[in-house]
Amino acid sequence: MAESAKWYVVHTYSGYENTVAATIEKHVENRKLHDLIKDVQIPVETVTEVTDSGSKTIERKVFPGYVLIKMILTDESWHVVRNVRGVTGFVGSGNKAIPLTDEEIAALGVEKREIVVGYQVGDNVRIIDGAMESFLGVVDEIEKDKNKVRVIVSMFGREMPVELELDQVEPVS
């Protein structure tokens, strides 16, 4: 298929998110729709609650009442998702489902993108974005899991650590 799969948001009855996700996955399996519906997710965050009896770690839904689906929108895939019990509709205008943008997907953290960096600790780098654009510095620390890099920059005769995102610096050739 020429069209690529995009992420869509489906509105569900409150508390039906897991049921809806499981039902959609079952329909995909039974009807062999793997080429149309790629992924079904419910965004959750891990939270530690402190109560009188102690602390416990729970998973809380980030967006109660919503399920994210990565799919190629066709009449068949729309019909399958829309007719699942507990689904009230797609997020969009009228009957038209609107896909999430790449920025929204990145902000939600739905798809983990592996960032390949061309530098390592001790390398000279140039800051290419932000308030300190075009400054030169030395990489002090890299935290790929947090998308952060700490660069030591010389400013006003003093060395100063600056924390940036991984894609805000490039190696100096």
Residue 37 three-state SS: strand
Joined tokens for residue 155: 């400013």
Q: How confident is the model at residue 2 (pLDDT cuts 50, 70, 90)?
A: very low
Instruction: Say yes or no to pLDDT of 61 above 70.
Output: yes
Domain with CATH 2.30.30.30 in the chain: 124-171
- Cα three-residue angle 147-167-121, rounded to 5 degrees: 70
The answer to whether 152 and 137 are in contact (CB under 8 A) is yes
Over residues 118-166, the pLDDT tens digits come to 888 999 999 998 888 999 999 999 988 778 899 999 988 899 999 998 8
Beta-strand (E) ranges in 23-157?
37-41, 44-51, 54-61, 66-71, 87-90, 92-93, 96-97, 124-127, 136-143, 148-155
Q: Is 11 exposed, middle or buried (0-12, 13-18, 19+ CB in 10 A)?
A: middle
Domain with CATH 3.30.70.940 in the chain: 6-108
Q: How far apart are CA 91 and CA 93, in angstroms?
A: 7
The answer to whether 98 and 91 are in contact (CB under 8 A) is yes
Q: Is 82 exposed, middle or buried (0-12, 13-18, 19+ CB in 10 A)?
A: middle
H or E stretch at 1:
none
Torsion of CA 35, 28, 41, 57, to 10 degrees: -140
User: Which CATH number among 2.30.30.30, 2.40.110.10, 1.10.3470.10, 3.50.40.10 corresponds to the domain 124-171?
Assistant: 2.30.30.30
Residues whose CB is less than 8 angstroms from the CB of residue 132 and which lie 6 or more positions away in sequence, other chains included: 153, 162, 164
For 6-108, CATH number? 3.30.70.940
pTM of the model: 0.62
Over residues 80-106, the pLDDT tens digits come to 999 999 999 898 877 788 898 888 887
